Homo-oligomer: A and B are copies of this chain.
Amino acid sequence: MANKPFMAWMTEIQQQVEGALERLLPSDQHTPQKLHEAMRYVCLGGGKRVRPLLVFAAGELVGASADNLARIGAALEMVHVYSLVHDDMPCMDDDVLRRGKPTCHVAYDEATALLAGDALQTHAFDTLSAPLPGVGPAAQLAMVHTLARAAGHAGMAGGQAIDLASVGKALNQPELEYMHLLKTGALIRSSVLLGAMAGRPLSEEETARLDVFAKRMGLAFQVVDDVLDCEADTATLGKTAGKDAAHDKPTYVSLMGLSEAKQFARDLRDEAFAALEGFGDSAQRLKELADYIVARSF
């Protein structure tokens, strides 16, 4: 697998994650069917699967099994998707398009979107706490705790609350970074950490280095997202383009300008790369993935 070209590797992982989600999500043949249908509708057949890709790439550092990484990646994707479903609801961003399809409350109804998001979050913890062969219970419990920290009030949900409070306000760069550190960065970072918890134990120094990589990539991912939101049209993006500007939300582009934001993303990638020195060939996929994520904004 290590010799496979990056794009082929990425496609293969995306298929594995799709398969895992397909198996792990409840069947739409079982009651309550509408809820199960909605959970499958929002999770399957779309998305770049960035978080699962990070799980797999980090898992290569520690020789983790592909089956376990697929399950961990699926759990992270469920958390990510639940946040999108709730974020798109009328009381939040009120958006109608996501991953090239009508959003959940448009395709179903608001109550179903609310419940599907709720049930997806729970299902992530269900998925992550079910047996992972070869992973000890202490390591697995630490994974659950890491995910909960990353997704909650001091992570993703907290970041969304700050985002909500910041509409129409002029944030400076430290404030903007803090918001994104929580809103997007925490889950991206936890994807890297969880993948690396599924195999041989890392030394303290290795964990610290990997955490630098994870933090830089969490931030770079958001900077790239802002660049894409500014540059791309809706058809290419698969979600409504330019909506941050339309909602008067601060972005890296509005704060630093377009070319500076692109340069900032490249600088973050280079710092992330530097943190991986010492891992040798086992860090190849993480580097390729970091490069790919940032290159999307070129």
Contact = CB atoms under 8 A, between A and B. Distances in A.
A161 B91 contact: no
A140 B141 CA distance: 8
Copy tally for this chain in the complex stands at 2
Interface of A: 26, 31-32, 34-36, 39, 82-83, 86, 89, 91-92, 109-112, 114-115, 117-119, 121-123, 125-126, 129-130, 136-138, 140-141, 144-145, 147-149, 151-154, 157-158, 160-162, 164-165, 178
Given A129-B145, A140-B141, A148-B125, A35 B118 contact: no
Contacts of A89: 114
Contacts of A31: 158, 162, 178
A148 B144 CA distance: 11
Contacts of A160: 115
B157 A118 contact: yes
A33 B165 CA distance: 10
Contacts of A157: 35, 115, 118-119, 122
27 contacts: A32-B165, A35-B153, A35-B161, A82-B118, A83-B118, A91-B110, A91-B111, A91-B114, A92-B114, A111-B164, A114-B114, A117-B118, A118-B157, A119-B157, A119-B158, A119-B161, A122-B148, A122-B151, A122-B153, A123-B148, A125-B125, A126-B152, A129-B145, A130-B145, A137-B140, A140-B141, A141-B141
